[in-house]
Amino acid sequence: MSGLATIVGLAVRSLWNRRGTALLTIFSIAVSVTLLLGVERVRTEARASFANTISGTDLIVGARSGDLNLLLYSVFRIGNATNNITWQTYKDLAQRREVAWTIPISLGDSHRGFRVLGTSADYYQHYRFAGDRTLQFAAGGPVADLFDAVIGADVARQLGYVVGQPVVVAHGLGATSFMNHDDKPFVIRGILKKTGTPVDRTVHVSLEAIEAIHADWQSGTRIRGQEISPEQVRTLDLTPKAITAVLVGLKSRAASFRLQRALNEYPEEPLSAIIPGVALQQLWDLVGVVEIALLAISGFVVLGGLLGMLTAILTSLNERRREMAILRSVGARPWHIFGLLVSEAGLLALAGVILGFATLYLLLAGLAPLIEERFGLFVALRPPGQWDLTIAGVVIAAALLMGVLPAWRAYRNALSDGLTIRV
């Protein structure tokens, strides 16, 4: 053990004497390790975030569309529906004997870049995420009046909203809109606790409220001269004419495929019924090739960093002939020289891996809020997992193996080789 400690200590002092080259090599390895670990971390967090978004929902029903498109716009608020489904169809679906509960949703408006979701009281009761977690309020409560709104945690944090504050819904989905429903403002009734799902970036109102703010609109524009005041609109029949999609919970999951087939063949209008887990697996199959490609590229970057380290050590061997000869002359054995160079490679890789981990966590700490805001992806700062530690071990082991080549060359050099002056 003392001999190994002596060799490692000597390797540290030797690297310090060549600290310029050593630091560049460490930085190169650190960048490559950061890239590889970062790609894997974002990949796993993206999958976990998507998988935790919705739980306990057996079917999602919407207008005829692709499975992924229906999943993305109804659950993740990405994209738009190709069409709506009629209220009568929703009522027929809700009354089927297999159905335990339904959550109707209506999309299409926004507030300062955040999607507005029209829904019913069942949303707060039956919506589940991350296993069996329910929606909880950080402040206030659910919608109680026609023009009440419940906002997600990110909406409240980014816009600085509190309970009782008025908000104006905009027509359309742009972050900046010139068509606002400013004649019928909402009041924030409640703020939901953080969920790590698209719920955090959503403004929730009632289905009747969606009908109310569009009562004097037609084809996306307000009908001039026929404006309806908030007081007048309360007297109207605000039963929705159509909704965007329905989340369905069944009494028995065994009925999922049977009901799905019946809805896909629904004679009254073209529908699509999807099972969330199956549709999500299709999404992973679609992006799986891209994930493998990114991991492969990251792996080659790591290999490039290790080859750079090998090149640096091999290049320095000729300059270090006298150093090796002096070590031999004071009693160092050939295996000491061999161990010295292998130890240098291992120390460079170890320092690069440690710096890579530190860089990754600093980047995650700084960029996680931006990633969540821009892409809706919650990246948690978890301690290194088994994959991370495996990658670290593989990188260090590969560096030790690469260090064998220059170590073997130095091992074979005779004592006189370093004392001979080459012209």
Q: What is the pLDDT of residues 223-278, one digit of tens each?
A: 776 778 889 989 999 999 999 999 999 999 889 999 999 999 999 999 999 999 88
Q: What is the pLDDT of residues 150-200, one digit of tens each?
A: 999 999 999 999 999 999 998 766 555 557 888 899 999 999 999 888 899
Q: How confident is the model at residue 401 (pLDDT cuts 50, 70, 90)?
A: confident
Residue 157 lies in a domain: yes
Q: Are residues 128 and 26 in the same domain?
A: no
Q: Are residues 75 and 27 in the same domain?
A: no
What share of the chain has pLDDT > 90, as a percent?
A: 38
pLDDT at 20: 81
pLDDT at 1: 41
Say whether pLDDT at 302 is over 90.
no
Q: Are residues 214 and 340 in the same domain?
A: no
Measured CA to CA, the distance from residue 103 to residue 96 in angstroms comes to 14
Buried b (16+ CB within 10 A) or exposed e, 301-318: bbeebbeebbebbeebbe
Q: What's the angle, vertex CA 391, arms to CA 389 and CA 397, rounded to 5? A: 100
Q: Give how many domains the chain has, as a whole number.
A: 2
Q: Between β-strands 186-192 and 166-167, what pairing exists: parallel, antiparallel or unpaired? A: antiparallel
* Alpha helices in 234-275, H assignment, sequence order: 256-264
Say whether pLDDT at 358 is over 60.
yes
Residue 383 lies in a domain: yes
Q: Are residues 128 and 191 in the same domain?
A: yes
Take residue 139 and report the two structure tokens written for it: 């402040």
Q: Are residues 191 and 320 in the same domain?
A: no
Query: Which residues form the domain of 302?
Result: 2-50+288-419
Is 173:115 a contact under the CB 8 Å cutoff? yes
Measured CA to CA, the distance from residue 15 to residue 340 in angstroms comes to 11
Take residue 33 and report the two structure tokens written for it: 């390790």
Phi-psi region of 77 (alpha: psi -120 to 50; beta: other; left: phi over 0): left
Pick the last residue of a domain from 232, 249, 274.
274
Is 229:142 a contact under the CB 8 Å cutoff? no
Residue 127 lies in a domain: yes
pLDDT at 329: 60
Q: Are residues 68 and 27 in the same domain?
A: no
- Count the helices and strands in the chain (H runs, E runs): 14, 17
pLDDT at 374: 63
Residue 105 lies in a domain: yes
Measured CA to CA, the distance from residue 146 to residue 209 in angstroms comes to 6
Pick the last residue of a domain from 240, 274, 308.
274
Is 54:279 a contact under the CB 8 Å cutoff? no
pTM of whole model > 0.75?
no
pLDDT at 326: 63
Task: Work out the number of other CB atoms within 10 angstroms of the CB of residue 107.
Answer: 23
Take residue 9 and report the two structure tokens written for it: 């200590």
Q: How confident is the model at residue 418 (pLDDT cuts 50, 70, 90)?
A: very low
- 188 in helix, strand or coil? strand
Q: Are residues 95 and 227 in the same domain?
A: yes
Residue 214 lies in a domain: yes
Q: Are residues 133 and 224 in the same domain?
A: yes
Measured CA to CA, the distance from residue 360 to residue 365 in angstroms comes to 9
Residue 8 lies in a domain: yes
Residue 200 DSSP label: G
Beta carbons within 8 Å of 2's beta carbon, 6+ residues apart:
none
Q: Between β-strands 99-111 and 245-250, what pairing exists: parallel, antiparallel or unpaired? A: antiparallel
Packing angle of the helix pair 276-319, 334-375 (nearest 10 deg): 140
Residue 280 lies in a domain: no
Phi and psi at residue 359, in whole multiples of 5°?
Answer: -65, -40
Q: Are residues 67 and 102 in the same domain?
A: yes
Q: Are residues 399 and 333 in the same domain?
A: yes
pLDDT at 322: 63
Q: Are residues 30 and 71 in the same domain?
A: no
Q: Are residues 117 and 258 in the same domain?
A: yes
Packing angle of the helix pair 2-17, 334-375 (nearest 10 deg): 70
Pick the last residue of a domain from 221, 249, 274.
274
Measured CA to CA, the distance from residue 363 to residue 356 in angstroms comes to 10
Residue 282 lies in a domain: no
Packing angle of the helix pair 334-375, 321-329 (nearest 10 deg): 130
pLDDT at 49: 77
